[in-house]
Amino acid sequence: MAGEYYHNNTKPTIEKELSEQHALTINTIASAFSGNSDLFNEYLERWANTVAQSRVEHNIPIHEVLEALSKTRETVWGFIEKFILENKETVTTGIIAKWSAIYHAAFDQLNYKFSKKYYHFTHGRLTDQQSLINELGSPVIPILKETAVLPLIGDIDTKRARFILETTPQKCTENKISQLFIDVSGVPIIDTLVANELFNLTKILGLLGIKTVISGIPPEVAQASIQLGLDFSGISTFGSLRQALSMSGVETHLNNVKGDFFAN
């Protein structure tokens, strides 16, 4: 899509969009010659917002946009040069110098403003995507009334650990969870940072009256945690999620619920 955006074989909807935006570009540059800086800034803001948001939505790399803008700059100046040659008796060198200064200063502003807006929209998009990834990566899944599982998969860095710590208690409260199984068997590396965040999470959940069961912590990490002063002795821990569910009686309850469902 990105490589085809400025080609002649683009879709009619994109052609219409480009045509409208090109007209806005010309009007923005023309407003720079009005001598009214407020008018130019108004056009500039509208142009930058429109074009930057459009290019981010279409996943167009910034270098392609700047290249297209450079071509527009050369093309339009070519028309101005043609006008100057056709009217060289009345267009003085002073006027040419003034037009050139206004024109190129305006395009410099377009480049700067577009780059700034492009970064703003791209950063916002990445932030939204990261929030979604974090949300999907730390789901509190109810399996029975007041019982849920938090399966953690993939690497956990400081930022993700903080997200889990901040959102899990709220999710449990919203779903009226009184017992949460936290499974970390899908986390490839469980270091002391992860262990510390798990410990903090269990403490917060405990204050909310939520019982925590942890599964998947390797023995060596458990030992290292004790050396750091993280006392997991008051928390039920198991080698696997299945073992945790079985020993807690949840697996039996789930099987009974399943049997009742199919019996009906």
Supply φ then ψ for residue 152, to 5 degrees. -100, 125
Structural domain of residue 106, as residue ranges?
2-134
Domain boundary among 87, 115, 134: 134
- CA 233, 236, 240: angle at the middle one, nearest 5? 125
**Do 159 and 72 belong together in one domain?**
no
Q: Residue 261: pLDDT above 60?
A: no
Tell me the average pLDDT across 154-173.
89
3-state secondary structure of 145: coil
Side chain identity, residue 151: P
CB 103 within 8 A of CB 26: no
Structure confidence by residue, pLDDT tens digits, 87-129: 989 999 999 999 999 999 999 999 999 999 999 999 888 877 7
Is the pLDDT higher at 263 or at 81?
Answer: 81
pLDDT of residue 256: 54
pLDDT of residue 43: 96
Alpha-carbon gap, residue 147 to 105, rounded angstroms? 64
**Do 81 and 103 belong together in one domain?**
yes
Alpha-carbon gap, residue 62 to 73, rounded angstroms? 16
Alpha-carbon gap, residue 155 to 138, rounded angstroms? 12
Q: Residue 236: pLDDT above 60?
A: yes
pLDDT band at 259 (very low <50, low <70, confident <90, very high): very low
**Do 28 and 124 belong together in one domain?**
yes
Tell me the average pLDDT across 37-58.
95
Helix H segments across the chain? 12-32, 37-57, 62-86, 93-136, 158-174, 192-207, 219-227, 241-247, 250-263
pLDDT of residue 151: 92
> Quick one: CA dihedral 154, 157, 162, 163, positive or negative?
negative
Query: In total, how many domains does the chain have?
Result: 2
Is the pLDDT higher at 146 or at 159?
Answer: 146
Alpha-carbon gap, residue 221 to 174, rounded angstroms? 31
- HSE, side-chain direction, 13 A CA sphere, residue 260: 6
**Do 197 and 126 belong together in one domain?**
no
pLDDT of residue 159: 83
Q: Residue 8: pLDDT above 60?
A: no
Q: Residue 2: pLDDT above 80?
A: no
Task: Order across the sheet with 236-238: list the strands.
Answer: 141-144, 147-153, 179-186, 211-215, 236-238
**Do 19 and 129 belong together in one domain?**
yes
Q: Residue 234: pLDDT above 80?
A: no
Q: pTM higher than 0.85 for the full model? A: no
For residue 154, give the CATH number of its domain: 3.30.750.24
pLDDT band at 223 (very low <50, low <70, confident <90, very high): confident
**Do 16 and 74 belong together in one domain?**
yes
What mean pLDDT, rounded, does the chain reach?
85
Domain boundary among 134, 169, 190: 134
Closest among 235, 189, 188, 208 to 140, alpha carbons compared: 208
Is the pLDDT higher at 138 or at 49?
Answer: 49
Task: Report the percent of the chain where pLDDT is more than 70.
Answer: 88
**Do 80 and 150 belong together in one domain?**
no
**Do 77 and 176 belong together in one domain?**
no
CB 78 within 8 A of CB 103: no
